[in-house]
Amino acid sequence: MGRTKNTPRSTVLSAILEKRNVMNAVILRDMRSRFFDHGLGFLVVSLWPLAHMLILLLIYSAMGRRAPYGESLNVFFATGLIPTLAFMYISRFMSLSLVLNRPMLAFPVVTVLDIMLARSVLEVIAAFITLGLMFLTLVALGDDPFPIDPFLAVEAYGASILLAVGMGFLAGVIVMFLPLFATIYALTMIVVYISSGTLFVVQTMPEPVTYVLSWNPVFHLVEWMREAYYLGYNSRVLDKQYVVWFGVTALAAGLALERSLRMRMLEN
């Protein structure tokens, strides 16, 4: 009888199928465990940032503030809130993924990378659902939420996701060994939010203050998004390369840290 021989192609295909099955299992488990022990509870993940945005927009409107750019105060603040909250929520929940899913590492086929990738997929999907709901809400309020430069807006949102996934991955690995870092990271998000430029116009700030704020990568995301919405905005401080390299470097650092500490993570 002839003996069946596995070709390199079949071996790779089997590995891909196995990895897909593992990812599906991790994603489904994560969805069910997040809220109400039901998959539909995952939709709540998208509603948190939406509620956050709507409450802030309601407060600003009640204060009677005028839009520094454009005709709509809602759209102006949304251009800052959308990239900022996307970064905050994605990276924050990713930072907790390994701690919350530690029992899954008891299965040999499940790796740290599987858990982090599964959580990043879920958070990115939730972020896009939030974005769609926010657009629908603004339209319902009579505002025009569409940018004058859609391609630039897509770039800005994509950079927000890259930065969030990179920082979330790095923070998640650190939290695995230092749980206190989860609290530190959450408190840092407050500083990031205040200094992001969401609540003010950068051009009105003194040069020394602007320089300090420019070290915050989320600050550049807000400027990037507002350039996509307002003709002639032309931010004098926007550095797109800084944001991209920050996100890529954070992701690379997280992957390197996970690789070097993989055995210790499994032992713990």
The pLDDT value recorded for residue 2 is 47
Domain spans in the chain, listed from the N-terminal domain onward: 8-267
* Nearest Cα to Cα of residue 29 among 107, 83, 87, 141: 107
Tokens of 114: 């599987």
* Nearest Cα to Cα of residue 98 among 170, 146, 205, 35: 170
* Nearest Cα to Cα of residue 124 among 171, 93, 90, 168: 90
* C-beta atoms surrounding 102 within 10 Å: 14
The pLDDT value recorded for residue 21 is 78
Please give the single-letter amino acid code of residue 190.
I
Distance of CA 159 to the CA centre of its chain: 9
Distance of CA 64 to the CA centre of its chain: 31
CA separation for the pair 52, 55 (Å, rounded): 5
Model's pTM, two decimal places? Answer: 0.87
CA separation for the pair 117, 14 (Å, rounded): 19
232 DSSP 8-state letter: T
The Cα angle at residue 31 between residues 158 and 179, in degrees rounded to 5: 80
The pLDDT value recorded for residue 1 is 45
CA separation for the pair 115, 98 (Å, rounded): 7
* Nearest Cα to Cα of residue 142 among 206, 73, 211: 73
The Cα angle at residue 171 between residues 169 and 177, in degrees rounded to 5: 115
Q: How confident is the prediction along the chain (268 residues), in pLDDT tens digits per residue? A: 445 455 666 676 776 777 777 778 777 777 776 666 665 666 777 777 788 778 877 887 777 777 777 788 888 888 999 999 999 999 999 998 888 888 787 777 788 888 888 889 988 988 999 899 999 989 998 888 999 999 999 999 999 999 999 999 999 999 988 889 999 999 999 999 999 988 878 877 888 888 888 999 999 999 999 999 988 888 888 999 999 999 999 999 999 998 887 777 666 6
